[in-house]
C-alpha cells in the first residue's frame, strides 16, 4: 500500500486509544482512507513509501531495521514520560527492544509451528480406517487367486452376465426353430386341404372315374404324410396296385 494514494488523509487525532501513549517514530504518520474506511501507518522516509496496519513498533520489518542500526534514536521517550508518573523510573530502551524482539520471536515460532503442522488425515486414510479388516479365509483366498474380494466379485458378476446372455440367445434360437416348424405344418395342412378339394371337384365332374379319383386322392395323402414325417419309410395298401408299396 503506497502512502501517496489519492483520497488518503493523515490524522494524528484519530489514532486508536491503545496507541495514544506510543508516539510514532520520526517519519511515520497515521493515515486513514475515507473511501475504503481503512486506517494505517505510513513511513515517509522510506523509498518507496511503505505502509502497515500495525503500529511501527509492532511491525517486524521496522523492528528489524532498528536492530540493524548502530544508533537508535529514542523517539518514544516523550510519550512514555507523559503516560508514566514522574516517580517511576524510566524504562531502559534496551529492555523495550529486547521485549519487542522476544515478542517477535514468539510470533515467528507460532507461525512456524502453524506452517509445518502435520496435515489432517486425507479421505483415503479415513476410508482405510473404516474399511473392515480381512479375515484369515479371505487372506487365503486372496493368496490363492491373486485377487482381492472386490476383484473376485466383479469377475463373478461378469460370468453371470455372460451366462445370462447365452441363455437369452439360446432361448431366441429355440423359439425361432419352433416357429419355423409351426409354419411348415400350417403350409402342409393347407396344401392337403387344397389337394382334397381339387380331387373332390374332379370326382363331381366325372362320376364314372370315381375309383380313379379316389386312388389319386389316397396317393396324394400318402405323399403329404411322407413329407410331413421326413423319417423312415411308410407302407400303404394301394387299391390301384393291390399290394404294399413303399
The reply to whether omega before 198 is within 30° of 0 (cis) is no
Distance, CA of 231 to CA of 160 (rounded, Å): 40
Predicted confidence (pLDDT) at residue 152 exceeds the cutoff of 60 = yes
Mention every residue, 6+ apart, whose C-beta is less than 8 A from residue 141. Answer: 149, 152
pLDDT of residue 1: 45
Q: Contact 53/69 with Cβ under 8 angstroms?
A: no
- Quick count: other Cβ atoms within 10 Å of Cβ 188? 14
3-state secondary structure of 32: strand
Q: How confident is the model at residue 170 (pLDDT cuts 50, 70, 90)?
A: very high
Nearest CA to 63 among 15, 107, 13?
107
Q: How confident is the model at residue 6 (pLDDT cuts 50, 70, 90)?
A: very low
3-state secondary structure of 31: strand
pLDDT higher at 54 or 220: 54
Average pLDDT score over residue span 49-68: 83
Q: Contact 222/234 with Cβ under 8 angstroms?
A: yes
pLDDT digits over 77-99, tens only? 555 555 555 444 555 555 556 66
Give the DSSP H/E element, type plus range, for residue 33: strand 28-33
Q: Where are the domains of the chain?
A: 9-115, 147-245
Predicted confidence (pLDDT) at residue 42 exceeds the cutoff of 90 = no
pLDDT digits over 197-226, tens only? 877 776 666 655 566 666 777 777 777 777
Q: Is 46 exposed, middle or buried (0-12, 13-18, 19+ CB in 10 A)?
A: middle
pLDDT higher at 219 or 185: 185
Q: How confident is the model at residue 129 (pLDDT cuts 50, 70, 90)?
A: low
Q: How confident is the model at residue 163 (pLDDT cuts 50, 70, 90)?
A: very high
Amino acid at each position: 500500500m503506497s502512502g501517496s494514494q489519492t483520497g488518503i488523509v493523515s490524522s494524528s487525532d484519530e489514532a486508536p486509544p491503545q496507541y495514544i501513549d506510543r508516539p510514532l517514530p520520526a517519519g511515520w504518520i497515521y493515515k486513514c482512507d475515507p473511501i475504503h474506511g481503512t486506517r494505517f501507518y505510513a513511513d515517509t522516509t522510506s523509498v518507496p513509501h511503505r505502509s502497515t496496519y500495525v503500529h511501527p513498533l509492532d511491525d517486524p520489518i521496522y523492528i528489524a531495521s532498528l536492530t540493524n542500526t548502530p544508533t537508535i534514536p529514542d523517539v518514544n521517550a516523550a510519550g512514555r514520560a507523559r503516560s508514566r508518573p514522574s516517580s517511576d523510573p524510566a524504562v531502559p530502551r534496551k529492555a523495550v527492544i529486547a521485549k519487542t524482539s522476544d515478542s517477535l520471536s514468539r510470533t515467528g515460532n507460532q507461525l512456524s509451528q502453524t506452517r509445518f503442522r502435520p496435515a489432517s488425515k486425507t479421505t483415503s486414510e479415513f476410508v482405510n480406517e473404516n474399511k473392515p479388516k480381512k479375515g484369515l479365509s479371505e487372506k487365503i483366498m486372496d493368496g490363492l487367486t491373486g485377487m482381492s474380494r472386490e476383484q473376485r466379485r466383479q469377475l463373478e458378476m461378469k460370468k453371470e452376465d455372460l451366462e445370462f446372455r447365452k441363455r437369452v440367445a439360446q432361448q431366441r434360437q429355440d423359439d425361432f426353430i419352433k416357429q419355423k416348424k409351426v409354419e411348415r405344418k400350417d403350409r402342409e395342412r393347407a396344401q392337403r386341404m387344397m389337394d382334397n378339394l381339387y380331387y373332390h371337384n374332379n370326382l363331381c365332374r366325372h362320376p364314372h372315374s370315381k375309383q380313379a379319383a379316389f386312388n389319386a386322392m389316397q396317393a396324394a395323402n400318402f405323399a403329404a404324410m411322407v413329407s410331413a414325417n421326413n423319417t423312415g419309410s411308410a407302407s400303404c395298401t394301394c387299391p390301384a396296385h393291390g399290394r404294399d408299396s413303399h
